[in-house]
Amino acid sequence: MKKAILFSILISFILFSSCDSPREKKEEMVILGEPETDSLRVEKPETSFYFYEEKNDFPDAVIEMYSPLGNQKFRPGKVPFELNIKNYPFESGLGGFQLKMILNSSDPVGYNSPIFQRELNEGTYRTVAYLVDEEGLALKEFGNFVDRDFMVGDTRPFPYQAEPYLALNIPTNNQKFKEDDEVTIDFLLLGGDIDLDRLKVQISLNEFQYEIQEVTPVRVANLPKGEYLLTLNLVRRDGKELDGPFSSVKKTIFVE
C-alpha cells in the first residue's frame, strides 16, 4: 500500500514538473557582448532572440468585414466598421480587447464590439482587423484576420500591388519595458505565404539583427537599457526587397 502511494506521489510530481517546465526556445540566437576588462563590474546576461512553439486555441475562428467595402469612399468624419465573428468566444471568456484593428501601419486599437465608428481625416487607408488570444497575440490561421482598402475624401486608391505585407500587433510605438522583461514582437503576414512565396522577415533593434522564416511571435531577452528603433522588413529569401507600402514597419521602444 505504501509503495502504491509513493508511486502515485512520484507520478504526480513528474507530471507537475513537466507541466511547470520552461517552454523550449527555438532557433535561439545569442548576441555576444564585448568582454569586460573591469573585474569589479557585474557580468550581464547576453541578449538573445528566439521563439516558442505556439498553439492556436481558436484555429477555426473567422472574422468577416461587411463595412467598409473594397475601395469604398466616405466623407471625412465618422467611418462605419462592421464585422462578423464566428467560432470564437467574443465578449465572453477572454479578458481585455479581443478584436484589434490597424490602419496604415499605425498602432492597433482594441474593440469589444464588432460594430463601431472611427473619426478619420481625408486619405487612403488599409485596415487590418484580427482576433487575439488570451496573451494578446494575434491569431494567425486563415480566416482569423481580414484586410480592406478604402478612401476618405477626395483621394485615390493605393496602386494595385499583389505583394504580401506585414501588420505589427506588438509592441506599440513608444512602449516601455523593464530591463528584465521578455520583449515580444508579434506580427501578421497578409497577402501571401511565407513558404510558398519564399519570404523571410528581417528584424532589427538598433544594431541587433535577427531573421525568421516563420510567422510566429519573436521573443527578445536581456535587452540593455536604452531607446531602440524596431524595424521589420519583409523580403524575398533571395534578398530582393518588396515594393509595397506596408512591407516594412518601424516602431520606437524603450528599455528602462
- The full set of domains in the chain, from first to last, is 62-152 (2.60.40.10), 165-255 (2.60.40.10)
**Cβ neighbours for 220, distance < 8 A, ≥ 6 positions apart:** 47, 48, 49, 182, 183, 184, 185, 205, 208
Please report, in angstroms and rounded to a whole number, the separation of the first and last CA atoms in the chain. Answer: 56
At 4 the pLDDT is: 40
Query: C-alpha 120: how far from its chain's center?
Result: 24
Cα(189)–Cα(77) distance, rounded to whole angstroms? 30
At 93 the pLDDT is: 52
pLDDT in tens, the chain (256 residues): 444 433 333 334 344 444 445 688 888 889 876 555 555 555 678 999 999 988 888 999 999 999 999 999 999 999 999 999 999 988 765 566 789 999 999 999 999 889 999 999 999 999 999 999 989 999 999 999 999 999 999 999 998 778 999 999 999 999 999 999 999 999 999 999 999 999 999 999 999 999 999 999 999 999 999 999 999 999 999 989 898 889 999 999 999 9
Cα(65)–Cα(69) distance, rounded to whole angstroms? 8
At 35 the pLDDT is: 52
At 16 the pLDDT is: 40
| Grid coordinates belonging to 110 | 482594441
